[in-house]
Amino acid sequence: MRDGYKTVLEFLESDCDVEEEQEHLYNQMASTSKDMKVKETFQNLARAAKGHKDSLKRIIGSIESDDHDVSFYCLVCGWEIDFGKMPSVGNEERCSLCCQKFALVNEDNDYSIKCLPQ
């Protein structure tokens, strides 16, 4: 498992499983429907679920191949703080809006940030 992404990967994989189940269910409903509009609706829902599943798999792949930026929202002002790809725990970044300094930490294999004294 990719360091720092334990919970994120668990959620993404769970969501991917749900989308796969929905795709299967919608395809079943489409195949048994006799009404063309209902059949078409279920086919569209199945395509949407497949698209969601494919997007989730791309995000998972991006994380697992270290091609995903580690970023957080500033705990003070809400601005985005980017630690880049493959950062090291302990890296420090400053919020470009409010200038608060943060350190990247790893808590139970999940990245997090902590405020540093000014």
- Quick: pLDDT tens for 59-111: 999 999 988 899 999 999 999 999 999 899 999 999 999 999 999 999 999 99
The ranges assigned to domains in the chain are 6-64, 69-115
> How deeply is 19 buried, as exposed, middle or buried, from its count of CB atoms within 10 A (0-12, 13-18, 19+)?
buried
Evaluate if pTM is beyond 0.85.
Answer: no
pLDDT at 30: 97
> How deeply is 95 buried, as exposed, middle or buried, from its count of CB atoms within 10 A (0-12, 13-18, 19+)?
buried
The DSSP letter of residue 87 is P
- Quick: pLDDT tens for 15-67: 999 999 999 999 999 999 999 999 999 999 999 999 999 999 999 999 999 88
**DSSP bridge pairs for 111:** 106
